[in-house]
Amino acid sequence: MRTGRSFTVSSADRVRLTALIRDRNAPQKHVWRAEIVLLPADGVGTGEVMRRIGKSKTDVWRWQERFAAEGCDGLLRDKTRQWRIPPLGPDVGERVVALTLADPPGERTHWTADMMAQAAAISASAVRRIWKAHGLAPHRWRQFKLSNDPKFVDKLRAVVGLYLDAPAHAIVLSVDEKSQIQALDRTHPACR
């Protein structure tokens, strides 16, 4: 049970709190906090304050104690709360980046957020935040896949040679695939 705690409202505080209550643009939480302080100063009991404002007894007592300790400024700000979940350390970010730059397990072409979350033992949203912070997008290919064709080097030299030393009166045409088609998809047999 709470011991009786009394506080006095100075005339300057009363003017400030009354102006806050009458201000139509004031946040409602500030208005009812001001009323919690002014009503008991006018002789209204805790039960009646609870009924008029619609707040619990603990709310009324909390804001009265805050006013007694910090004055009007204490009513106008909320106390900061600690995070529910502690932030991830830098070692977790480094581990996720290192895993992202390595090949994914099995026959997969790239890491997904869910796969990485399972491998790093963190949430998928945390993986996405780490990737965004480091500019990583493993689903986008930024490398060139070399062909397994044994005559690849000879064919490459022939094509490049046409561009560098084209025959007279010849037209060199180049046909390229769409950039979204990944070479890795062609090297694995299709599942049928």
Specify the pLDDT at position 192: 47
How confident is the prediction for the chain on average, in pLDDT? Answer: 82
Torsions phi, psi for 8 (to 5 deg):
-115, 145
Work out the average pLDDT over 16-45. Answer: 90
User: Could you give the number of structural domains in the chain?
Assistant: 2
Torsions phi, psi for 151 (to 5 deg):
-100, 20
Specify the pLDDT at position 126: 92
Specify the pLDDT at position 1: 45
Same domain flag for 115 and 64: no
Better-scored residue on pLDDT, 92 or 8: 92
Work out the average pLDDT over 23-50. Answer: 90
Same domain flag for 62 and 29: yes
Same domain flag for 104 and 65: no
Residues spanned by the domain of 54? 11-75
Q: How many CA atoms lie within 13 A of 156 on its CB side?
A: 8
86: Cβ contacts below 8 Å, ≥ 6 apart: none
**Confidence at 23, pLDDT banded by 50, 70, 90:** very high
**pLDDT exceeding 90 applies to what percent of the chain?**
23
Query: Pick from 43, 81, 45, 80: which is nearest to 60 by CA?
Result: 45
**Does residue 52 belong to any structural domain of this protein?**
yes
Work out the average pLDDT over 41-57. Answer: 89
Which range among 9-23, 73-87, 116-130 shows the weakest confidence by mean pLDDT?
A: 73-87
**Does residue 26 belong to any structural domain of this protein?**
yes
**Does residue 81 belong to any structural domain of this protein?**
no
Specify the pLDDT at position 2: 52
**Does residue 85 belong to any structural domain of this protein?**
no
Which range among 26-35, 85-94, 158-167, 173-182 shows the weakest confidence by mean pLDDT?
A: 173-182
**Does residue 28 belong to any structural domain of this protein?**
yes
Same domain flag for 28 and 64: yes
Same domain flag for 63 and 117: no
CA–CA dist 131, 136 (Å, integer)? 5
**Does residue 160 belong to any structural domain of this protein?**
no
The per-residue DSSP string of 150-176 comes to: TTHHHHHHHHHHHHHSPPTT-------
pTM: 0.43
**Does residue 36 belong to any structural domain of this protein?**
yes
**Does residue 108 belong to any structural domain of this protein?**
yes
pLDDT of 104 strictly over 70 = yes
Same domain flag for 60 and 101: no
Same domain flag for 63 and 94: no
